[in-house]
Each structure stands twice: as C-alpha cells, then as structure tokens.
Amino acid sequence: MVFKLLLVEDDAEIREIIIDYFTEKSGGALTIDAAETGIEGQLKCIDNEYDLILLDVMLPEADGFTICRELRKRSDVPIIFITARHNESDRLHGYKLGCDDYVTKPFSLAELYAKVNALLKRSKGMIRRGVMTAGKIKLDPYRYTTYINDEEIILAPIEFAILKILMENQGKVVGRDSLIIRIWGYDFDGNDRVIDNHVKKLRQALGGASTQVRTVFKKGYKLEVD
C-alpha cells in the first residue's frame, strides 16, 4: 500500500533530507508532497487527500498551530509537528489543538520514520472517531472536552494529555517512560514519578470514573471499562 504524506517545512535542506530518506527507506511506499509556507500547505490540504501531515510550527504566512487548528475543524488526518520549539507549553498547546505527536529539532531521521509508520498503522487499523468513549468517560480530542456520564469536567492540559493517551491504548499498559516521552519529549530530565502526581490529579477530576484508571505495579497505567 502506498501512503501519501504532506511535509510543510520552510527549510529547503530539511525538506530534501526528509523526502530523500523516506522515499529510499520505504521503497516508494511513502510519497511526499512538500510545501514551503503555511498558506501553500493549507491549499494543498484543500486540494488533496493525505494519510499523514508533517508540520513545522514556525512557518511564513501561517504558522503550524494555525494550520492544525483549521485542519481539525474538518479532518482527523494524523499530524506530527516538527519544530525547534522545545517549551513544554508549546508541546501541550500542540496536543490541545489535536496533533498526534511532536518531534523537536534536531531529530533522528530513523526515529521520525518509525513514528510516521507507527502512526500510519494505528490510524489505518482503526476507525478514528471525533469522540473517544471508555465506560463512563467520553473525550473529544479536537474540542478539548471531557465528560463523565455526559457531564463535562475540566482537566488541566497534562491530565488531559494523559487521559487521551490512555484512551488511545484502552486495555493496554502504558509505561511511565512512554507517557513522559509523549508529553514532555525525550529531553525531559525530571523524575518519572512526576507522572504519578498527575495521575492522582486526573483520578480526582474523574470522580466516580477514577477506578477506570488502574495502576499496574512497576509498569505504568492502563484504562479499563468497569
């Protein structure tokens, strides 16, 4: 199967390196359209159907966050941000807007390629819905809303990100390291127990649905339906 990707990146050297690597590594299974500016990227998204989008944040004409926000109004195409912005607030903002992953520069081409393939397999292997449901919990990743028994609750950005990841992996154990990488990135240098504190806050916010977030001793957490 051939997948069609869009790369929105204003650095010509980075565009060329990614396209050459992906084309050779995939043996032609991944084809990549490229755009140099935010407006060009938006127009290509209107005129074409893509299986995944690689999106720089700092772009001329329209930034990546704006493009992601507009895309999420009409599409659930997987989006990976590629950016030099390392701030936690930027990463959390990206997830809030609906991105699926966040890669900071400089990055490993092999790692980016692996992330793209994993995300393509996941997105093509299941029905992507606007609202994810697990027992009493409903989460809309694109409107950034959470409901318990159809009553909306307010979650802080990190608790929302943790719940979203757990719901995406419902019934599976998600390790602390995996949660840290998804939320803070590979350059996080804090204690992995920081996740435990945020999970405690998440459970408090979930109220009667808190028992669905279960601790797996020495491994991590998983979300189950009571």
Please report how many Cα atoms fall inside a 13 Å half-sphere around the Cα of residue 75, on the Cβ side.
Answer: 19
Whether residue 48 is found in the same domain as residue 141? no
Whether residue 159 is found in the same domain as residue 82? no
The CATH number of the domain where 36 resides is what?
A: 3.40.50.2300
Strand order in the sheet with 213-216: 174-175, 220-223, 213-216
Domain count within the chain: 2
Whether residue 74 is found in the same domain as residue 154? no
Instruction: Give the predicted TM-score (pTM) of the model.
Output: 0.57
Residue 126 has pLDDT above 50, yes or no: no
Cβ–Cβ under 8 Å, residues 2 and 31: yes
> What mean pLDDT do residues 81-101 have?
81
Whether residue 38 is found in the same domain as residue 117? yes
* Domain final residue pick, 124, 140, 171: 124
* Domain final residue pick, 80, 97, 124: 124
Whether residue 120 is found in the same domain as residue 198? no
Residue 207's pLDDT band (cuts 50, 70, 90): very high
Residue 128 has pLDDT above 50, yes or no: no
User: Which residues constitute the domain of residue 154?
Assistant: 132-223
Whether residue 108 is found in the same domain as residue 138? no
- Of the listed ranges 22-36, 57-71, 133-147, 179-193, the least confidently predicted one is 179-193
pLDDT of residue 88: 75
Residue 187 has pLDDT above 90, yes or no: no
The CATH number of the domain where 141 resides is what?
A: 1.10.10.10
Whether residue 49 is found in the same domain as residue 136? no
- Of the listed ranges 40-54, 82-96, 104-118, 195-209, the least confidently predicted one is 82-96
Main-chain dihedrals φ then ψ at residue 152, nearest 5 degrees: -70, 140
> What mean pLDDT do residues 19-39 have?
91
> What mean pLDDT do residues 68-91 have?
82
Contacts of 97 (CB under 8 A, 6+ apart): 65, 68, 69, 72
The per-residue pLDDT of the chain, averaged, comes to 86
Residue 127 has pLDDT above 50, yes or no: no
